[in-house]
Chain A
Amino acid sequence: KQKVIKWRVQDTFAAGIALSWSGEILARTINDIVRTENYRLEIEYHYGSELFPMAETFEAARTGALDAAIGWPGFLKGLNSALVLFGSFPNSYTPEDFAIWYYYGGGRQLADEVYGKYNMKPFAAGGGGIEGGLWSNVKVTKPEDFKGLKIRCPGFSEDILTMLGATTMAISPDEIYLAMDRGVVDAAEFSFPAGDVSISLHEVADYLIVPAWWQTAMITLLAVNMDSYNKLPDELKPLLEYATKVSYIMSFAKWEYSNIDAIETFTKAGTKITKLEDETIEELERLTVQLAEQEAGKNPDFLKVAKSQYNFLKGYGQWRSHSKPYGQGKVHKYWPNFVDENPQFPWITDKRDNAYFGIFETAGN
C-alpha cells in the first residue's frame, strides 16, 4: 500500500500575478511524478500571503512552520545577504547562466552549504528571465536622471539607487498601482513583462525604462525545511529533484513566452519604451561591483558565493563574447517569406494552459 507524505508549501507570490507560475508548475509536477510503489509526496500548495505574509514565507520554511517555501528568496536579505544571491543580483546572470553555474559550476553545493546553515534544503525551481524594466513617469536615460526620484524597488537595487541619489520606497505589490497612479512614487519596478501586466502597471506609467539592470533573472527556489527533507523516504528524493528541474525549464518557457503578449499590450497602451544610455549601464555596473565588494567585506558567505558566481561569469563570458550577436540578445533583421506579418500566439490568451504533459495526472490517477 502506497504511503502518502503531505507537505504544506507556500509561494512568496500571490494568486493571479504571473510570478506564481513556477510554484504552480512545481506543485503539479511533484504531485504527478514524486511517487514510487511505496510512497507518494503530496503538495498542499498555497499562494503567497494565504498563510504567511509574503516576506515571511522562507522564514516559515526555515522554522518548520511550512514544510517548504517556493519563490524569490530576496526576502532573506535581513538574515544573510548571501542567501539572496540564489534569487537575483543586479547586473548579473541570466536564467541560462544561473542553470549552468548551479548544476555544473558548483552553485548547488554552495546553495546547500549556505541554506543548510539555516536549516533549509534548497533547489532551484524556476528560471525567470530579465525583468521588464523601470515603470516611470519621468524619462530616465542618464545616471543624473535618477537623482531625486522616488522609486519603488526591493533587494540590492535599493542600495544602488540610493547611491545614485534616488529615494527608494518599499511598497507591497498590491500598492504599486495606486502609488504610481497618485504620484506617490515617480517610478517603480515589479517583475518581467507578463508580471507587470498582471498588476496593470502600463496604465499608470508613461515610460518603460529598459533594460532591467537590477534583476537580470529571477530565480525561484524551493527551500525545504531540513527536518521535513530528512524525513522524506530516500527513494523519493531524486524524484523531487527531477520535479524541480522540470519546473525550472517549464516556468522559464512559460514566462518568456507570455512576454510576447505583454509587450504587445504595452505597445497598444502607448507605453514609451526607452533605453538607458550605454554609459548609464556602465555606471550602474561599476556601482554594482562596488556594492558587491562592500558586502563581501562584511559577509564571508557573500564573498564565497559571489566569488564563485563572478568567476563563472568571467570564464563563461569569453565564450559568450564569441557567440555575439546571437543568444538571447539577438534580434533578427531578415525573415523568410512564409513568416506572418503579425504572428498569432493562440494559447497565450488561455493562461491556465502551461503546456505541461502530465504522466500520471493525464491518466486520471
Chain B
Amino acid sequence: MKLLLSIARMIDTCNEWVGRVAQWLIVALVLVFIYESVMRKGFSAPQIWFTEVSYFLFGYYILFGSAYTFLHGGHVSIDLFSERLPEKWRHRLAIACLIGFTLVFSFAMIKGGLPIAINSWQAGELGHSFWRPPIAHFRSVIPAAFLLIFLQGVSFLIKHIAALRGEQS
C-alpha cells in the first residue's frame, strides 16, 4: 500500500505540473487573438495561421487542463445523496464510480484515440486551411490527455482503497 500511495503522489505531482504549465495557455490565446485583431483591423493583414493556431491552443488548454481539474475536484458532481452515506460506503461508491466511469471512459478514449492519432502521423494529415499545417500532434492530444485522466483516476482509486483500509495518504 505504501508503494501504491507513493505512486499516487507521483501521479498527482505530474498532473499538478501539467496543469500549472497549461494554465498559461489562456494568456497565449488572448495574445494571439489580440495580435490577429490588430493586424486584421489595423493593417488589413490577417494571419493565415490564426484559426488553426487558436484551435491548437484551445484544444491543448481544455484537454491538458482536465486531469488537473480532476485532481483538484473541479469537475462538478451531484453529491446530494452520496454525501449523506456513511464514510465507508462513500469510499466504496467512489471506487465503483472511478472504475465504472472514469477508467472505462478514459481507457476507451485512449483505445479509440490512438489509432486515429497514429494514422494521422502515418498519413501526414494536414489542416484544411491555406496554411495547411500538419495536425498529427493535435490528433494525439486526446489519447495523451486521457492517459493523464486515467492515471488521475488510478491515483484516486489508490487513495480511496487506502482510506477504506484505514491508512493515511
Contact = CB atoms under 8 A, between A and B. Distances in A.
Query: Do A and B interact directly, with beta carbons closer than 8 Å?
Result: yes
Interface of A: 59, 63, 75, 77-79, 148, 150, 154, 158-159, 162, 167-170
Given A154-B128, A170-B51, A79 B123 contact: yes
Given A63-B115, A169-B51, A170-B51, A78 B127 contact: yes
Given A78-B127, A79-B123, A154-B128, A162 B115 contact: no
Contacts of A167: 40, 46
B139 to A, nearest CB: 11
Given A148-B44, A162-B48, A170-B51, A78 B130 contact: no
B125 interface: yes
B130 A162 contact: yes
Contacts of B116: 59, 63
Contacts of A154: 128
B135 A150 contact: no
Given A150-B46, A170-B51, A159 B123 contact: no
Nearest first, the 9 A-B pairs at minimum CB distance are A167-B46, A162-B130, A78-B126, A78-B125, A148-B44, A159-B130, A77-B128, A158-B130, A78-B128
Contacts, number: 31
B77 interface: no
Interface of B: 40, 44, 46, 48, 51, 115-116, 119, 123, 125-130, 132, 135
A293 B126 CA distance: 20
Contacts of A168: 129-130
B144 to A, nearest CB: 19
B48 A78 contact: no
Nearest to B40: A167
A63 B120 CA distance: 12
A76 to B, nearest CB: 10
Contacts of A159: 130
A79 B130 contact: no
Given A63-B116, A162-B48, A168-B129, 7 more contacts: A78-B125, A148-B44, A158-B129, A158-B130, A168-B130, A170-B51, A170-B128
A79 B129 contact: no
B79 to A, nearest CB: 32
Nearest to A165: B44
Contacts of B126: 78
Contact of A170 (B115, B119, B129): B129
Contacts of B119: 63
12 contacts: A63-B115, A63-B119, A77-B128, A78-B126, A79-B123, A154-B128, A167-B46, A168-B129, A168-B130, A169-B51, A170-B51, A170-B128
